[in-house]
Each structure stands twice: as C-alpha cells, then as structure tokens.
C-alpha cells in the first residue's frame, strides 16, 4: 500500500519511495526499536516522518508477555490522525503513508505529515510558570482546552497511551506575547501507540489522565486549576464529578504520584517544597 501526493509523482517513483525515505537525511528526533522519527525538507516544504523498519520477534514477544499490543508499523498513526481529524481534534496534517512486507517482525512502513512549525510544547511553555506565571485567562484557556481534548478522546473510545503535556504543541505563529486566550490552538502529536475501540476500559482512562497529572506536577498548578480540569473533563457539575467519579480521581492521583516518585528516583532529583 502506498499513498503520497500527486505533486511528488513526477520526482519520486512509487516503488522507490520507501528506500528513499530510509536513506534520506534530516534532523533525527528519536531512533529506537526499529523506528526513526525525523524532520526533513522536500521541494521547499518541511515535513515530519516516522519510518518503521520492523521491531523484530524479540520486541513483539516482550510486549505480548507484558499483555501489551506491540506497535508493528506506521499504520496505527495513519489511522489515528484520520480519526482525530474527523473528531475535530487538531493534529499534524497527513501527507503520505506506505507499507511493504507481510512478516510482522520485519514490516516496513512510514507516515509523513506536514511539520508543525511555529509551535512550542506545553512542557516547554509551562516550564517557568512557578516563577513567571502566565495571565489568568491564558492558563484557564489552556486547562480548558487540554481537558476538552481529553474528554473528546475518551468519549469516542480513544486512549493516547503517552498522554503527557510534551505531546501537546501550541501554535505561536502570532508570537508568545500576543497569545489570544480565545483562539489558542493545540496540536496533539505522537499517536503511534493510540488505541481506538468502542469503549475505553476504566484503567486506560486512568492511565491517560494520570500521565497528564504527572507531567504537569511541576508547573505550578493550583488546587483551583485542578478542579477546573475535573469540571471540564467530567462535563457535569463539579460536585457531581467529585462524588460520582471519586474512585476514578483517587486512582488518577495515586497513579500520578507513583509516576512522579519513579521519575524522581530514576533521575535522582529532589522535588522543591510546594
């Protein structure tokens, strides 16, 4: 299977495009487990590519033994982006997709999207909030936006599996000092592990929201900020969310705190007192 723009056909032969992608040079962001993620320029435009060379039977067996579905190629991200676009959730624009081979351990595939230029991850944007907080309106708008995206995913049977604030990119094409809280645009990225089903198991909802909670622990959110997230995500009166969904939020906090504790032990850092 191969899908790519008509404009490329005069320059690239369809039977050679996968080999070409494997050899192309670009700025590499990640390379592990048979997957290479990089940014490149073609015909004057910037693109982002994920190329899968096959994970091998060892990786497949390891995932299955851990009761996890292995990610075998780029097809999952291709489908996930299309699904998010149908739901109105902003993400990178699809450009090309291809797959070659039948052996699941050696399957070769790729997905190419337009590069998201003039953006910043929420992890970087929020890093200095404890000492240099944003305006109240911008912070409220971002919390509302992230909670709405989370609710939309989960209401439609989608869980991200790597739902950290670093995977939200904010459009800053108008400049950081000119952010309009009423027109903030967030792109959700890194979708290769996303799962789509009719209904999300409770534990996967907990995992997604706990990952968000963990990754935002050091950006200076107040108790009121957290309650706003609960209210927007729950899509019902706050008191009702805190009572009917008490077990869910308790599990989110427990798992998030455990992730943070593991992070501290791994990196041998001490959390500053709040």
CA distance 52 to 74: 7
- Decide: 76 and 193 in contact? Cβ < 8 Å: yes
- Under a CB-based contact definition with an 8 Å cutoff, are residues 159 and 205 in contact? yes
Catalytic, out of 16, 19, 128, 162: 162
Q: State the residue for tokens 């997905």.
A: 111
- Annotated active-site residue 218? The verdict is no
Pairing state between β 119-121 and 158-159: unpaired
Look at residues 104, 114, 101, 108 and name the one whose alpha carbon lies nearest to residue 19.
Answer: 108
Residue 198 C-beta-side C-alpha neighbours within 13 Å: 0
Residues of 86-95 as b/e, b for ≥16 C-beta within 10 angstroms?
eeebbbbebb
CA–CA gap between residue 231 and residue 240 (Å, rounded): 9
Residues belonging to the active site = 162
């Amino acid at each position: 299977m191969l899908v790519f723009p008509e404009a490329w056909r005069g320059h690239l032969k369809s039977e050679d495009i996968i080999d070409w992608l494997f050899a192309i040079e670009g700025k590499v962001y990640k390379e592990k487990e048979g997957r290479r993620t990089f940014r490149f320029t073609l015909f004057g435009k910037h693109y982002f590519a994920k190329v899968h060379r096959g994970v091998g039977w060892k990786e497949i067996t390891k995932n299955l033994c851990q009761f996890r579905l292995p990610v075998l190629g780029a097809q999952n991200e291709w489908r996930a982006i299309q699904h998010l676009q149908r739901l109105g959730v902003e993400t990178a624009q699809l450009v090309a997709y291809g797959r070659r081979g039948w052996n699941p351990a050696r399957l070769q595939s790729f997905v190419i999207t337009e590069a998201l230029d003039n953006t910043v991850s929420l992890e970087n944007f929020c890093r200095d909030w404890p000492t240099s907080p944003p305006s109240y309106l911008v912070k409220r708008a971002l919390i509302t936006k992230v909670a709405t995206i989370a609710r939309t995913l989960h209401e439609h049977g989608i869980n991200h599996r790597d739902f950290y604030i670093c995977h939200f990119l904010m459009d800053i094409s108008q400049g950081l000092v000119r952010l309009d809280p009423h027109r903030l645009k967030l792109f959700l990225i890194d979708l290769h592990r996303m799962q789509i089903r009719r209904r999300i198991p409770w534990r996967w909802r907990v995992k997604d929201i706990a990952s968000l909670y963990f990754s935002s622990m050091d950006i200076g959110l107040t108790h009121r900020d957290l309650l706003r997230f609960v209210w927007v995500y729950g899509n019902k009166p706050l008191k009702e969310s805190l009572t009917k969904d008490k077990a869910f939020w308790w599990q989110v906090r427990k798992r998030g705190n455990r992730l943070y504790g593991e992070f501290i032990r791994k990196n041998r850092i001490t959390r500053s007192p709040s």
